[in-house]
Structure 1
Amino acid sequence: MSPTSLRLVAHGHTTALRRARFGATTDGLDEGGLRAALAQARTESGRRGHLRVDDACLSGPEAAATQTADALGLRPTVEASLAGCDYGDWTGRSFEEIAAEQPQALHEWLSAPDSAPHGGESVATVRERVGRWLDGQRTRGQRLIAVAHPLVLRIAVVHALDLPIATYRQLDVEPLAIVRLTSQGARWQLRLSAPRGG
């Protein structure tokens, strides 16, 4: 069986990310996020075998995810399973606002991955969704790129390595970060590699 190579790419900066707001699917890249994605595309073009424009590419439905893929020169197909968390009533609001107005609800959400006091999805629900998708990719035997919200990458790594769900809070994924997972079919391995050349 050919190995599956999956590169998870965090979408670029949005206003919501910069201002610590609970984002929405309509949030696109901000000016700096677009510039950074275009600059990364130039860098990636010089790396053999990293992000190739002929690799199959999927993206979350968020505008920022599809815009990042486009800026990287990829041709994404939207995959609903890669959507970021639905924050329900908190969408568009800042962390500070929620902390001031609903401190107990925020504490519950931060301490219990299966809670959803905002009326949207819990982190555990996002893990189930992303995990099902990720499990379905292990035996594809191809190179695949997936562009999604940084939270989706954190949850995907937790699922791929079979870590406790609360571990996602200990992972920091910056916009435009690339996480590489490989599989021979049975399980995922996290692969860390240095840039080639230069």
Structure 2
Amino acid sequence: MTGLRLLASAPTAALRGARFGGDEDLDEGGRRAALAMSPPGRGDLWVCAPSRAARETAQALGHSAITEPALADPDFGRWDGLGLDEVTVADPKGLQQWLTDPRAAPHGGESLARVRERAGAWLDAMARQRVVAVAHPIVVRAALTHALRLPDESVWSLEVAPLSLTRLTHRAGRWHLHFPAAP
């Protein structure tokens, strides 16, 4: 049995402002929250998405993580940097399509199904290791959808808050969601 911890990166201004994409530093609140967090447990390997927020989250916890491209934030194409309210006005049909069809990429970027494929392939490659991985909450959602063998549409059924920690174990050829006992 092995353990893998998925840590959602701390908040940025873009995340708090419901903006698509962008590669920003943690905001002051996110930095303080990450610094105050207890270490997420043992990991022989620390990896993070190539975003500044993921890297800074790992650093706040005292780790220099290896950059893993498979954990990158989704490519939001022409929506990159726009707020949800702006996309709602500029491309309401595209937004509705993106929210209801995980294979859709009306923004010209990457579909959520594709994010799941790449994050899931990486996850499966880590099945025999102890890893702590830091990534954007939507990438954590995609990885969990894969690990739990849920339909692509289930990505929206999983709530992943910034700095939330999810532990998976791998045994008997499949991933298991681990709920530790309360302290």
Q: For 2:171 and 2:14, locate their aligned partners in 1 and report how far apart those are by CA, in whole Å.
A: 37
Offset from partner CA, 1:164-191 (integer Å, 9 cap, x none): 1111101111100000000125010000
- State the SS of the aligned residue for 1:168: helix
Q: CA RMSD in A?
A: 1.2
Report the TM-score when normalising by structure 2: 0.96
The TM-score normalised by the length of structure 1 is 0.89
Q: Distance in 2 between matches of 1:38 and 1:183?
A: 29
Aligned residues: 183
Which amino acid letter does the alignment assign opposite residue 172 of structure 1?
A: E
SS in 1 for 2:169: strand
Q: Distance in 1 between matches of 2:57 and 2:166?
A: 15
Where do 1:16-95 residues align within 5 Å?
Answer: 16-24=14-22, 26-40=23-37, 43-44=38-39, 50-52=40-42, 55-95=44-84
Shift of 1:69: 0.3
The percentage of aligned residue pairs carrying the same residue is 49
Unaligned runs of 5+ in 1: 45-49
CA deviations 1:50-74 (Å, max 9, x no partner) are: 423x631000001000000000112
Unaligned runs of 5+ in 2: none
Q: How does 1:1-198 map to 2 (within 5 A)?
A: 3-24=1-22, 26-40=23-37, 43-44=38-39, 50-52=40-42, 55-138=44-127, 140=128, 142-184=129-171, 186-196=173-183
Answer with 1 or 2: which has the greater Rg: 1
- CA distance in 1 between partners of 2:49 and 2:161 (Å): 17
